[in-house]
Amino acid sequence: MPQMPALTIGDKTARLPIIQGGMAVRISMAPLAGAVARAGGIGLIAGSGLEPDEMRNEVRAAHALAAGGVVGVNIMVAIRKFKETVHAALEGGTNLLVCGAGFSRDVFQWAADAGVPVVPIVGSARVATLSQRFGAAAVIVEGVEAGGHLGTDRTMLDLLPEIVEAVDIPVIGAGGVVTGADIRRTLDAGAAGVQMGSRFAATAESSAPEAFKQMYVDATDDDIVIVRSPVGLPGRAIRNPFSQKMADGELAPIGRCISCLKKCGKEYCIMERLKMAQAGDVEDGLVFAGSAAARVHDIPTVAELMDRLVGEFAASGEGSEDA
């Protein structure tokens, strides 16, 4: 029966080629990242919205749960405290840095000084090549199917072959991956691994509230919508009263700005709306999700989900030449 391959990034190897996406704000925290790492994948803590001390503590807490597994962090380049958050993650002992929503040259040097690999999220062969030139250990190709901020209008499987061809480092596919069969399809297209966000948002160890997780379980394809983000990029979320007001142009001007982003259009405070959703207000909060959220139908533990993915991967290869 065909088995999932391991995934090596820099000097770290995960038993399974699965990276759990870093979902902010406070959705991907130590309990989720630690559980994924313990189960053989790579668990990521979402650094956006965390203060530096909190970032350090979360990385250490995840390692305590990970049983020697690989723990990383995802930090948006667009946040104002990017440098401070990166250094806090390095001080906490992160095994790798994933960076998206912008490109930073400085982060490669900061990470190199600490002996930690950097994995940029890219949406084109040009940015992938640039990332390799600066020292990236791998790149994550995020297609238009992904949740949260979107940097491309092309699908992951459309982008993947040209980026695999353009670089000599591992390429990870992200966007629309929910099942073991999806993982096999992505690896067959040339990826070394996958990143999965939406499927892990609706797990027992996710720090999302139950109402948030239930929105994933109940969502249909019609509920997944594109929203405007103050960061200047489109984003994908689950439809709710807040997203409807946004679509209808009925949002009131924000009364304050907490300066969480380097550049902000101030249409609304994204950090505030993400925090509201994490606190359980799924009516007026922003509930980011990938296009595949409509294919999420339950809330398993991470261990149950990982076993399921391994089984689905094996079953999807039965009867093939490598079976």
Whether 323 has a pLDDT exceeding 60, the answer reads no
* Contact assessment for residue 208 and residue 34, using Cβ atoms and an 8 Å cutoff: no
Structural domain tally of the chain? 2
Same domain, 214 and 180: no
Same domain, 64 and 94: yes
Same domain, 37 and 140: yes
Same domain, 203 and 144: yes
Q: Which of 206, 198, 177 lies closest to 313, judged by CA?
A: 177
Same domain, 167 and 225: no
Query: What stretches of 47-117 adopt beta strand conformation (E)?
Result: 70-76, 96-100
Whether 3 has a pLDDT exceeding 50, the answer reads yes
Specify the higher pLDDT residue, 290 or 323.
Answer: 290
- Total number of residues shown for the chain: 323
Is 257 among the domain residues?
Answer: yes
Same domain, 63 and 138: yes
Q: How far is CA 199 from CA 12, 301, 305, in A?
A: 24, 11, 9
Is 321 among the domain residues?
Answer: no
Same domain, 186 and 243: no
Q: How far apart are CA 82 and CA 75, in angstroms?
A: 7
Segment 186-209 shows an average pLDDT of 96
Segment 14-29 shows an average pLDDT of 93
Is 141 strand, coil or helix? strand
What is the Cα 322 distance to its own chain's centre? 30
Is 1 among the domain residues?
Answer: no
Same domain, 270 and 199: no
Q: What percent of the chain has pLDDT over 90?
A: 64
Whether 322 has a pLDDT exceeding 60, the answer reads no
Q: How far apart are CA 293 and CA 322, in angstroms?
A: 31
CATH of the domain at 67: 3.20.20.70
Is 320 among the domain residues?
Answer: no
The 10s digit of each residue's pLDDT in 34-53 is 999 999 999 999 998 899 99
Is 323 among the domain residues?
Answer: no
The 10s digit of each residue's pLDDT in 143-183 is 888 877 677 778 899 999 999 999 999 999 999 999 999 99
Supply the pLDDT for residue 291.
84
Is 272 among the domain residues?
Answer: yes
Q: How far apart are CA 142 and CA 126, in angstroms?
A: 14
**Residues 73, 74, 80: CA angle, nearest 5 degrees:** 115
Is 2 among the domain residues?
Answer: no
Specify the higher pLDDT residue, 287 or 181.
Answer: 181
Same domain, 86 and 131: yes
Same domain, 51 and 82: yes
Same domain, 275 and 185: no
Confidence tier at 292 by pLDDT (50, 70, 90): confident
Same domain, 78 and 97: yes
pTM score, two decimals? 0.90
Q: Where in the sequence is the domain holding 27, given as residue range(s)? A: 7-207+297-315
The 10s digit of each residue's pLDDT in 252-279 is 777 666 656 666 667 777 777 888 888 8
Is 87 among the domain residues?
Answer: yes
